[in-house]
Structure 1
Amino acid sequence: MTDLASVTCAGCGLLCDDVIVDSSGAAVRLRPECSLGAEWFSQRVRRSAGAPAASIRGQPADVEAALSRAADLLRGARRPLVHGFDWATVEDARAAVALADRLGALIVPGGASGPWPGSPAVPLRGASSATLGEIRDRSRLVVIWREDPVSTHPRLLDRLGFGVGATPRVGADATARLGAERRLVVVDDRDTSTAERAELQLRWPRERDLEALTGLHARHRKLALRPSDLAAQLDGLLELINVVPHAAFVYGAGLVSGRGGQRRALALHELVRALCHDRHVVTLELPPATGTRSVQDVLAWQTGYPQSVDLLSGHPELVTATRPLETGEGVDVSLRVEGAFTKLPDGATEIALSSLPGGSAGTEPEVSIRTAAPGVEANGTAHRLDGVPLALQAPLRGAGPTAAALLTRLLAEIEA
């Protein structure tokens, strides 16, 4: 890679496309400065050059032999699972869906050990969404719900028009100029870097998020509620919403992951739907990984559902049960595509196609093939967290195959 290269950074879901990578020193540096992006590039630029291109049962192998073994495993699978996609491109996701369709597989963005399938709120209820530009230019109120984008998506507040010095901090009870100001509100009981930048912070435990969301919905409909210590905070937030023509809710895993995440997500989207009768209200989800939005969009285009799709019956079916995938479903072969290692269902054999090493001592995949790192060694397309497609460049062109190329070859070998 040249010392200076202009690239799109896939270190987080923002996919900043105005980044210069400087690799002239001992450490990779980014301009504008971003430690998260620098770490992302460093992991891929400095990865071990001596690692084998492929392995079978932990022993070095050539790519052709590894592909043949992977094809044999998938051909004989009774209940295959395709998952991962943490740093996958659109091209990788398209090839994975084609292979999953041929196999009648489950295809699940993310890991096998988390809540499954996470939150089906969008396919069940729909979502009012927006681009970063719309929120920046139109939203007079932005509510960040239990996320800390200053740490996880470092330039998000700048993209939304809340850069340092952009919005003066005033008292939470100063409501006289609500219509003329843009306000940033954080819902979180933690003291985060994002909360420090907010004009108002609302504090209650995460366990009460569902109560808060349904309470806001009920108060918007002017329904009588039993007394609650959240009442004052909810009324204050609703007052802020009621005086603006456009508002946005920013949320992510802090709201929708874990036990009850599906219900909380449904409550948020139902609230937004109700608020839209009087004004325009939108949502922006911060995905858990860079490739999440890309694979969700590909799944939506090709199956009608943006996540957790079962293709066993010959047609796409949305899986709505919420439980750890590792506990059931009879998965016998797992194909991990550009994803981090996660605990597998009991008895499952793993095939890994990844640009970064995965697994731990004693948990090496049956078959592992090293891929060219998207955005560093291989070109591709990725979708920003608001759905905008952006090109990924390859400043360090690698000789290895992409995950998309390997998946296409697997499909051809299985069909041969």
Structure 2
Amino acid sequence: MPDPGPVTCAGCALLCDDVTIEPSGDGVRLEPPCPLGAQWFSERARRPASAPAATIRGQAAGVEAALNRAAELLRGARRPLIYGFDGATVEDARAAVALADRLGALVVPGGLAGAWPGAPALPLRGASSATLGEIRDRSQVVVIWREDPLTSHPRLLERLGFVDGSADGSPRRAWRGTRTLVVLDDRDTATAARADLRLRWARERDLEALTCLRAMQRGVAARSSDLGDALGGLLERLGEVPHAAFVYGPALSSGAGGQRRALALHELVRALCGDRHVVTLALPSAAGATGAEDVLTWQTGYCGSVDLAGGHPELVTATRPLMADEGVDVSLCIEGGLSPAPAGVAEIALGSLPARGDAEVSIHTAAAGVEATGTAHRLDGVPLALQAPLARDAPSAAALLARLLAEIER
């Protein structure tokens, strides 16, 4: 493997751009060390040379034949769906939206699981956001809401200015002054073990807790005594500092009630901003999620799931899994894991990892950040270039989507 110098790792949405890679046995080793990033690189670097470039109904096929079959399916689709984007670049997402516009498709950034896959919390309330650097340099209280970034985004605490600097391993501020790391979680996680303040209650009470915090901020006493004491301490700490941050992710916003919990968090942050600056930082589960949402925002005006069937963009506010509820008959998954499809749905997969064998059409793509270059947006929206330390001949998802659109328009 040639030495490409520092590269950007797309193993998680943090997109660390100071990583060097070296061969190690069957995989690679990263410096600074990161097991998650090493696994991500290794999975994409060791594709067998004998693996087919494309398949149709599980049988090896040429890329051209697979594209023709995919175009035939999409051309005849009554209700096409485009989703995924876990490992997609901004260029991939742009090409996908162009195809969706031509087809009148439903576009869903991310997977299809959860009761509210089209949760409109951000379009309804907006978000007070910040870059990692602003949180590192200004936030004196950082609240991590039911996430374990030491596992899902291993270098996040380091990037937010918390470093190992004490004998007991507790986090310490990288610059002068006092900072507080608050972790809200009823699980015993690696991140919770490093908290300065630990809060516990069941996930089912998150909406109650956020509503109580909002009421207490307005001077209304909490009805729940057990939550009231914990929330009072948190609110007091927030009131003592000029800048604070809430870090949250799928554990808050996904599943039943996720839309309302996310909405309550952003309403709380908006209220707290009356006399101090409070920001939020979302932790997407995949590196391509932020870029895909940004592309949808630029081109449709909405950052969540968008329906283009009417000839114009409409925000999707579904309360049931979309593939079943919307009558989808053809789905196109781009650089993501295939979601289980109802009977009768023809599945097309474009991805750098092997798709399920029951996909109607599957085409292998070059992995962005390993085999192909591109642009990705870090979880705080900062664009970063992805390099190709192991450049190969496989086409990118953007190139395949452009060819697919051209074939459909013939």
Give your verdict on TM over 0.5: yes
Report whether the alignment pairs 1:269 with 2:266: yes
Cα 1:187–1:113 shift into 2, 3 Å:
closer
Distance in 2 of aligned mates of 1:27 and 1:260: 40
Q: 1:366, CA displacement in angstroms? A: 0.6
Distance in 2 of aligned mates of 1:194 and 1:71: 46
1:114-149 C-alpha deviation (Å, 9 max, x unpaired): 334243111111000000000000001000000000
From 208, 212, 215, the equivalent of 1:211 is 208
Distance in 1 of aligned mates of 2:4 and 2:140: 38
Number of residue pairs matched?
405
From 169, 188, 192, the equivalent of 1:191 is 188
Give the letter aligned to residue 120 of structure 1. P
The answer as to whether partners of 1:113 and 1:343 remain within 8 angstroms in 2 is no
Question: What's the C-alpha RMSD, in Å, of the aligned pairs?
Answer: 1.6
| Alignment gaps of 5+ in structure 2 | 171-175
TM-score in terms of structure 2 length: 0.96
Report whether the alignment pairs 1:47 with 2:47: yes
Distance in 1 of aligned mates of 2:398 and 2:390: 18
Report whether the alignment pairs 1:298 with 2:295: yes
The SS at the match of 1:230 is: helix
1:12-411 matches, cutoff 5 A: 12-23=12-23, 25-165=25-165, 180-359=177-356, 363-411=357-405
Distance in 2 of aligned mates of 1:240 and 1:144: 14
The answer as to whether partners of 1:145 and 1:186 remain within 8 angstroms in 2 is yes
Deviates more, 1:200-209 or 1:326-335: 326-335
Q: 1:321, CA displacement in angstroms? A: 2.0
Structure 1 segments of 4+ aligned residues over 4 angstroms from their partners: 166-170
Give the letter aligned to residue 363 of structure 2. I
The SS at the match of 2:164 is: coil
Distance in 1 of aligned mates of 2:167 and 2:56: 56
The answer as to whether partners of 1:2 and 1:23 remain within 8 angstroms in 2 is no
| Alignment gaps of 5+ in structure 1 | 171-178
The answer as to whether partners of 2:27 and 2:41 remain within 8 angstroms in 1 is no
TM-score in terms of structure 1 length: 0.94
Distance in 2 of aligned mates of 1:6 and 1:25: 21
Q: 1:112, CA displacement in angstroms? A: 2.7
Distance in 2 of aligned mates of 1:414 and 1:233: 58
Distance in 1 of aligned mates of 2:234 and 2:116: 32
Q: 1:6, CA displacement in angstroms? A: 2.4
Deviates more, 1:123-132 or 1:16-25: 16-25
Give the letter aligned to residue 99 of structure 1. L
Counterpart position of 2:173: none
Distance in 2 of aligned mates of 1:169 and 1:87: 33
Deviates more, 1:50-59 or 1:341-350: 341-350
Percent identity over the alignment?
71
Give the letter aligned to residue 385 of structure 1. L
